[in-house]
Chains A and B, each alone.
Chain A
Amino acid sequence: MDFSTKKEQFILSVLVANHFGVLTRISGLFSRRGYNIDSLNVGETENPETSRMTIIVTGDEYIKSQIVKQLGKLQEVMKVEMLPKEETVLREHLLIKINVSRETRSEITEAVNVFRGKIVDFNSDSVTVEINGEPSKLNAFIEFTKSYGIIEMCRSGALAMKRGANSL
């Protein structure tokens, strides 16, 4: 099979056994084989014995096919699926602390409203905002706040689920 060498971002959903060391195993596999993780999120599912990971990776078709196969070989990986972008609900959470002054406060508040975010902490020098949405939306908000000065920020990494009634 010939692979296209065009790089693209893809979304992996991985069901794993909820054991200690699983995260190390998976991140170790990625670093060992030279796959770049853009974001990784892991949490328990409705079944306490399994966790679900959402991993966003950039790579070409070769890497895409290898990642799925190599993940599939790990004993604690129960299921690996590549989620098609068009049929996937993708959400990320952002917490960001921004410099404010009397002059900039209203501009920022306005922007938070436009982005459908929420101000969760507030004082005379800073404001902390939370925003949900597609990673691209968070990027846009971060870009906007740069001119005010970002004090600190953290992103949850994307969560993804396929649309429709089926499960992974």
Chain B
Amino acid sequence: MKLTGARIIIETLIEQDCETVFGYPGGFVINIYDELYKASDRIHHVISAHEQGAAHAADGYARASGKVGVVIATSGPGATNLVTGIANAFLDSVPLVAITGNVPLALLGRDSFQEVDIMGITMPITKHNYIVKDVNELASILRDAFRIAKSGRPGPVLVDIPKDIQLATCEYKPGKPVEKTLDVLTEQINIDKIVELIEASNKPYIYSGGGVVISNAGDELKQFAERIDAPVGFSMMGLSAMDGSLPNNLGLTGMHGRYASIKANSETDLLIAIGVRFSDRATGNKLKYSPNAKIIHIDIDPAEIDKNINTYFGVIGDVKYILNKLLEKVKPKKHPEWKEEINRYIADEQANYPQNYGMHPKNIIERVNNLIDDKTVIATDVGQHQMWVAQYFKLKGRRTFLTSGGLGTMGYGMGAAIGGCFGSGNQRTVLFTGDGSFGMNLAELATAVSNNLPLVIIIMNNGVLGMVRQWQTIFFDERYSSTTLDRKTDFVLLAKAFGANGMRVVGEGELSLALETAFSIKTPFVIDCVIDCDERVLPMIPPGGSVENIIIN
């Protein structure tokens, strides 16, 4: 049948199993929105307050659901407003298809109204991108976009569609959802070699990352760790792969990692890195990283092997596949002495925990932790609160942690939490944010309210940009340049103005009441928690430092 380009876009999205799209209309996508309107019984569109929010929502949706997130924006400012969201998805390997409108072909390159070269702008932050110049290629390009977004190491793909392509007609044949292709293994997986090393190791440590979450290999990871009796530490992106309360889960490692995890990471004689990319925030000084260990690196992206850390050897392929191969061969091991050593680190870690009461972030986090189940989605913004959540929150379920790892995008949280609600089938979602981060994209409260989302927003309000302040305290002699916000914003009134509800909390009694209220309703609720502005994220390994430089208190 002959359809317009705009209709083909919608039909292809539906055909690719896309149920929810996020976006914001505008002059050069008006035809696409017209088709969305007509197809509203088959595909649900969520309008955000700002295109950046829509991009983060599509990202959060993808992380929570495991599907491809889709975002639509108009040309020019609509497209540029997506850029942060696309870069965020790129650095965290999130499958995203961004569709932008553009001026008609004949007006391209003439600095027309609302024209930008979004393909040029997004080239370095997408896996691939397209500008469609022939309506006959539209459907196949969109299918390619989905395939590329979810195949191998996932990532964002942008498709720029000029207005006249949306209006032109051509023959459309419905297709099937494209399969994700697993990259062909470029080298023979030397499982035996890994098995041998495990056999010889006395202090194995598994460093697990986002790749394990992406390939849904949490069960395999758990089995593997138990089998070889190894503790597991995580990168920021990997935290939701394994139940946080398991005894061999040492939690976050790296700059703000937990003490026992950092120590084990440093003392191990065999580091099995799975689905990680050894970011500088995770390794610190590379010359002093796991100095006694042979490092095996398992990842789907060959370019990650030996990129940041020189490995003993790398294995390229899908993490789940390789873990299953390992489970076929690897024999059970016991490492009582290693375990004892780790237990000493855990005891040291716990001895340095802050007191667990009042408005200390750890207490707030643990109070929330007690209220959730394994379906609850946890989102964060970026800064101190994010690190506290990463350190103290014991995640229960897979794909339940939405956080901006690689790009460190303040303002990510609101959009991501909204996407998390949709991606999880309207599960209870909790956003931990700070007064700084929340200020960046708080207009998305409107989106949360319009859609009646079961979203609890916990603002750790210290009146300052806490993470930068912490650096200023430690490295800049307490010169707090532009980090003392001292704003007069009343977040409870603000919540009410948006049609949500909220409470301000300054003490533990109020915290109980606020949490009880927030978790008893199914609509957005803002809890403005006043915390101490000098509360620091500890431990901390200064940038470029190693475990020797760790700051504990």
Contact = CB atoms under 8 A, between A and B. Distances in A.
Interface string B116-150: 00011001100110000000000000000000100
A69 B120 contact: no
A69 B304 CA distance: 9
B302 A24 contact: no
Contact of A24 (B120, B307, B310): B120
A24 B123 contact: yes
Given A1-B310, A66-B303, A75 B120 contact: no
Interface string B283-306: 000000000000000000111001
A32 B302 contact: no
B293 to A, nearest CB: 15
B311 interface: yes
A25 interface: yes
B303 A1 contact: no
A2 B294 CA distance: 12
B303 A75 contact: no
A66 B302 CA distance: 9
Contact of B302 (A1, A25, A69): A69
Contacts of A66: 303, 307
A135 interface: no
A73 B303 contact: yes
Given A21-B119, A24-B123, A70-B303, A75 B128 contact: yes
Contact of B127 (A2, A65, A75): A75
B74 to A, nearest CB: 22
Contacts of B307: 66
B313 interface: yes
Interface in A20-52: 21, 24-25, 28-29, 32
A69 B299 CA distance: 13
Contacts of B124: 28-29, 32
Contacts of A3: 306, 310
Contacts of A59: none
A25 B129 CA distance: 10
Most chain A C-beta atoms within 10 Å of own C-beta, residue among B119, B148, B302: B302
A88 B320 CA distance: 41
A70 B127 CA distance: 11
Given A2-B310, A21-B119, A66-B307, A75 B302 contact: no
B347 to A, nearest CB: 37
Task: Select the residue from A25, A32, A62, A69 with max chain B CB neighbours within 10 A.
Answer: A69
Contacts of B306: 1, 3, 62, 65
Nearest to B133: A20
Contacts of A70: 303
Q: Which of A24, A28, A75 has most B Cβ within 10 Å?
A: A75
A72 interface: yes
Given A28-B123, A28-B124, A72 B302 contact: yes
Contacts of A32: 124
Contacts of B313: 1
B290 to A, nearest CB: 15
Interface string A67-79: 0011011111000
Interface string B309-322: 01101000000000
B123 A25 contact: yes
A75 to B, nearest CB: 4
A131 B145 CA distance: 46
A72 B307 CA distance: 14
A28 B122 CA distance: 11
A74 to B, nearest CB: 8
A15 B311 CA distance: 30
Contacts of A76: 128
Contacts of B303: 66, 69-70, 72-73
Nearest to B125: A32
B123 A75 contact: no
Contacts of B302: 69, 72
A36 B311 CA distance: 25
Interface string B163-201: 000000000000000000000000000000000000000
Contacts of B120: 24
Contacts of A65: 306
Contacts of A21: 119, 123
A18 B91 CA distance: 28
Nearest to A31: B124
Given A65-B306, A75-B128, 7 more contacts: A1-B306, A1-B313, A29-B124, A32-B124, A70-B303, A73-B127, A73-B301
18 contacts: A1-B306, A1-B313, A3-B306, A3-B310, A21-B119, A21-B123, A24-B123, A25-B123, A28-B123, A29-B124, A32-B124, A66-B303, A69-B302, A69-B303, A70-B303, A72-B302, A75-B148, A76-B128
The 9 closest A-B pairs by CB, nearest first: A69-B303, A75-B128, A1-B306, A69-B302, A70-B303, A32-B124, A28-B123, A2-B310, A1-B310
